[in-house]
Structure 1
Amino acid sequence: KKGYWYSQNKENDLSSKTSQLQVTKDYLVGCRCDAGFQQFLMDATEITKELEILPHFETEQVRKRKAKKLFEYEAQEEAPYDPKQKIKINFFMLC
């Protein structure tokens, strides 16, 4: 039986599970950094070449939003206009 009962097996000890979790954590942290994002872009470019699709990001025509500031010390909130940054913020870092 796999799943829940597999983790309750007598042969699996706490130290092996801890080391497996650490390896998984290191992998996920490595994926979420800028180098991981660059690797993601390179992999996506290779896939687009295999599928014979143009490897570029679509740009949206969005007008700049203006909102009233209630206080002078409020920071200006701007959405990213660069398509790569938009993918990085809205998709890659949220996964």
Structure 2
Amino acid sequence: MTDDFEQKYEERKRQRLRNAKQADLERKNPKYAWMIEQTHYRMRVDSPLESGARKGTIVYRCAHFDYGCTRADERSTGKPHMNVSANSNGDYPCFVVAYDDLEPAD
């Protein structure tokens, strides 16, 4: 029973975080609001960080903490970034990509 409770708690926590991120993103730049709803994306350019992430590759939102890498890249470039993974379950290894380098994957 505790595992079920913990799973539900974590899911609610993730949903609240997504809602907060969506509201923040829409307020800052409505151009990127679609990014929050998506779970997978197509790379527009080759990634300099991940050799397997070439133009056209499908990447997925990372399910783990990124230890501040995304925020650091946002501060240094002034553009919004996202932590993504080549694994469909969002598992490590993850890498940071600018929103401008991603497009929706159908």
Instruction: Specify the TM-score bucket, using the shorter chain as the normaliser.
Output: 0.3 to 0.5
More helix by share: 1
**Higher strand content, 1 or 2:** 2
Question: Which of structures 1 and 2 has the bigger CA Rg?
Answer: 1
Q: TM-score, normalised by structure 2?
A: 0.30
Question: How high is the TM-score relative to the length of structure 1?
Answer: 0.32
